[in-house]
Structure 1
């Protein structure tokens, strides 16, 4: 059973100058053929308004695009009305757990995490089960991003397969990843996303993502330490060295160049289910861009039932 997945930071949830254009969301999927079974979205800005009408409209528009009856759920964000969201195909997946953002007595490490059962892998008690966590980390402070990484770290070695998708607002260590010329960036950008060395030079702050996937060792070309997560971009690169590791922010957005900051991460239990040839960063066909970020897609494969009902 193939489960296509997608990750997209939809700039301001389509809201610009007081008007919302959700057709831009459809535009981002212009070159996607297989309907994603799970779409993880960041910046669902004010999608809770008017009885969640923007959320339902987004689901309807993508349903029309793919011929798939998407259902949407809104997540929680303490920073304001800009939560993440998940759209999913209920003919493929049964949603078993998702904490409503209005719930007050929920541990922070359980928010924005959906548990899905795959319908065609068995009956209720034997179906394959996995978790999909959607994250949008703080853009202003590396210390807060590291704290947000800590909320996910225990899922790295759980028995249940877990996929994390999100705009993590940070790259990881390793010269094989897209780099940014921090000297060309303004001080404010450097203070948010980089660290200054004692000699006065700046380098990307990678602590938060590295906490989950490990630090890059340039001698062995492998990651060390980490909490059990693996970047699907690097899984793809290991399987095929010609796989391009493209920035996930569009050209001309960030002075000094764009980085790979929109990540799909698989925990140890999920890694065997990742199709390494499926990873793709979709470069928009034309300007104006649908968003300042690029769509990222991949696919998971579940051939046999795993785990138990949860």
Structure 2
């Protein structure tokens, strides 16, 4: 008689997942680049990513129905890391970004635009930070603003403290969209909201800050290109309308009842118009009263405490004006 012996191996649940990741050669990071008629700069943008020392990534391009030669230029690079998808029609930035979230293979999604440049060791630095700090869901970095010829207009050293960032997002966007790397799992749950097209990033960062910590690294990791044909520049009116809607929503979440005039004051802070466009009297009385009204919110006092809010109040001139 032959006696068969069956040995059952109990494999930890994480092991099969790890095995299939290795089997499929899944990248750790997806560099997500939406593009619409971005032929002028897209090769420079891609080369700046391909020059990174960090190599465990794919580049996912979502072409939003371009009518220029973007596709041809991308294919001339002939790089296996690049995955190119083209929408059948122009669907808009939010739809393209959400398609990218669905197609991304990486554990992390690093955002880039087709006219920007990635600098330094941005990917390695941001991935290392997220690997070591599990309570953080997204991380940006400092950046240059450059013109269409690549000349530096100014350098933005963005805030780094989570609490200050979360509070400041009520007033103004604190992250360059193209500078951010985020956890794919969280980004897919939150997604970009089409209601806030053109300020979809500001809305997403606010919602990120509500479910996890966020920060900017004190490194220069991006050159953000600002010029007449820039998407935000071309859609300034729509952008401002949607930002006003976003700011009003946030004030309502804080139980801050606000008039149209108060919302205008808040918009002046958001768009950096308080300094040059408001009279000294309005700044001294109207803005001060409005800021005090915000900082007296019971919701904010419960979240931060009176002392923290008082310290934040002292920083407001430096932060926003």
**TM-score, normalisation: structure 1:** 0.26
User: Taking CA–CA contacts closer than 8 Å with sequence separation of 6 or more, which of the two structures ends up with the larger relative contact order?
Assistant: 1
Task: Return the structure number with greater strand share.
Answer: 1
Larger Rg: 2
Task: Return the structure number with greater helix share.
Answer: 2
